[in-house]
Structure 1
Amino acid sequence: MNAPINNFKLGLQSSRALAPSFERRRIQIYLFMVIGDIGALLAGFLLAGVAYNGDLPYSMALFEMQLFLPLYLTLGFYQRVYSIDALESRNFAIRRLLWSLALSAALLVFVVFYTKSAEDFSRAVFTLGLCFSAMLMIAARFCTFSFLHKFIGPTVLNVLVIEDGGPEVKLDHSYRISAEEHQLKEFKQNPSALDRLGRYVANMDRVIVSCPLDQREEWSFVLRAAGVNGELVSESLHELGAIGLHREEHFTSLAIAAGPLDLRARILKRLFDLSIAVPAILVLSPVMLAAAIAVKLESEGPVFFVQRRLGRGNRFFSMFKFRSMRAAESDHDGMRSAAKDDDRITRVGKILRKTSVDELPQLLNVLRGDMSIVGPRPHALGSQAGKKLFWEVDVAYWHRHSLKPGLTGLAQVRGFRGATDKERDLEDRLKSDLEYIANWNLPGDFLILVRTLAVVVHDRAF
């Protein structure tokens, strides 16, 4: 299937399937990928032996490869290194490959350390072997995708879209037929229609039917009877954002929402927060103590400014900052954004804001679990963009609170910080916040933290 296939026409009496089966082909490709990875590991560790010791073969290199190979193959299957997704997306294939290599290496190093076998294990050979093998495997993935696109087509999946008066389905590289043209109606009283459908769905990996609401029950029946991976298109479910289905004994419910991070991701993010916050508090404690003394000496009032902000799940929490305004004029509701020549800000406060030192007490919020090191910045309930409250500018504003707020975020390192004089000021931040939530990953948090160091002192701090 080398190009998109639309409005496929097939004689009603034809006995041929719409498409040849890709299943056997995929299994063959998986087998070649496994053999290729084994060959890449062998070649990589042999090269490592030559580079390190000049011997071919070097017994230590072969020994380490033999230890590593079963771990990699086992984890590779669990990490979907050999899966349909790995054939559909080169980036997915390479990410899963590298992740499996890293996990396998970490596990082997742990085993070697735990069994006290380090004296029989060459770290240099193992590292070189791993690097050479990874490069060979990545090169093999590029060759695999080049082969797939040249000899098989843009996809290794057979997808059939049956149009029966429902909403339009836009899907590239799919077969399409009209239920009316092919007389696919009244299946329960029409064995011929069931026969035609059975031939059309043969060898299909997905069958998608777009039909009106009152015909979904019949289509559900015949798709189950055909034994295929069937799907029904629904505009209403699309608008609801349905993400899954839960079947209970007495009812069935649609899943239309889920947290952006699973348990493993939340644990990793929390460990990252603590690994940064605890050392930062210890290292920066002299700076925080000096700031507290300066705030107290300059004007009467508390050292900390405590304000109610919106946190995860749109729940309120108390956020800490060093007080930078005169206590009597502090804006606890956030109705008035600080301006460049704001007469409420003290002299010490200007320095604290300019250097972002006023934000350091939020490390305590991180320890308490109210905030993260990286995430959408928390806003006061009365914050406005132009003359509108934030959520009045864009209702998607509430979606930014599906993660904990952060000391810094993607919007901040992009320069979207400071006063929100215009609605556009909020729109830019919101777009970045939602992008961060949708694409969260731990390396991304680390990169944002590093980039934050370059904008700690900024001209939008007032």
Structure 2
Amino acid sequence: MRPLPGEQTEVDELLVAPSRERRRLQCYLALILGDIVSVAAGFGVVGYLFASRAGFADALVHVQLILPIYLTLAFYNGSYSMAALREGWVGIFRSMIAMIIAMAVVVFVQFLIQPATDVSRSIFNGGAFGAMLAITWTRLQLRSFVTWRCGANAMNELVIDDGGPQLHMQGAIRVSAAAMGLRADLNDPHALDRLGLVLRNIDRVIVSCPASRRVDWAMMLKGANVDGEVLDDEVARLGAQGARVSGKHGLLLVSAGPLGLRDRAIKRLFDVTFAGLAVIALSPLLLAVALAVKLQDGGPVFFMQKRMGRGNRFFNMYKFRSMTQALCDNDGNQSASKDDQRITTVGKFIRRTSIDELPQLFNVLLGDMSLVGPRPHATGSLAGDKLFWEVDLRYWQRHCLKPGLSGLAQVRGYRGATDHESDLLNRLQSDLEYLEGWTIMRDLQIIFLTLRVLVHDRAF
């Protein structure tokens, strides 16, 4: 949810660090451009030294062959990664590995196709060696640029002190949970929202708390869309997997953002492109429905309700209003039923055909939602006589991704009223399954399947 003008002061007070993501992107781009120039320069200089202009021309041919292969390998082996920004020699070592493999691939391909023209082995081998020297030199020179843009740590690390052992980490930000008003309360959505504000722009968070609160903090962090750890000194003695040691303290890895930067970029590009085209194509329908809702009773066209999104942050979700204005349930305490008297005549049609959900395309363009993801629920929603998170605390894990217009649960038919706890558990299991391994192809498949269930007997 974007803060209102009156809320901006509180939001600013809770932000503990500026975002470094854009700065890291600039550094990644600098490393990529540096490698490209280094490869071209390494081959070009060696080729010119060996055979003047003719050798330089041959060297450029080698660059055209090896550069795309090298960049592909470098992307996948972590030559442009957080580790490469934090430790310069890590990036250099990985880039050397990528260059050696790229050389082997080019030699193998040339052996298979047996080109008619002779290939200068001296220029190729010397050029590759020159390129590796140039990459090493360039990356070492870029260390000052990386430090200037991202700092020595290249990431925002936050230590939340909630009464546990004192933890001192070089370059980390340290805050007091009590001073910041942070509580490990899984039954209070506002506590989750406050934690989400504090963790905005944070790359890794470590919580130091008594053993009695570790489980609650772990559950809080699982839906926070951030690498989260809970301090537990037993890790150092047990040598547990999925943990790390910092100084004298052991840190348990309890959560991780499900998507890396590349996957988030692909998903966001897909969302913006698809949603933008959908808004343009459906604009006549959107205008017609807006007019019909307005003429029904003269009330507002849109129904806006607070929902919980990625990182346990609130946002305002938009729908076409399908209930009478006086009986709209802003808190979602009562799920709609098939013969719900609150629903208007126009509302029955747009709910049955899922047209009432179309304004959420604007939520996608605003960045609050995605096309595919766990459906966002109102905080007052009940499964039977229990709030959703009271049925299963794993419910909060759904929020590590942006909520979606549709999801795996919806295409499986789990939608409509949650009269029984099992209605929620079926949806939750599908949502957690979706979180396990995201791919763009799965999103496309879910969108295709959604088109088949837009008109549904439980869409009311």
TM-score, length basis structure 2:
0.49
Question: Which of the two has higher C-alpha Rg?
Answer: 1
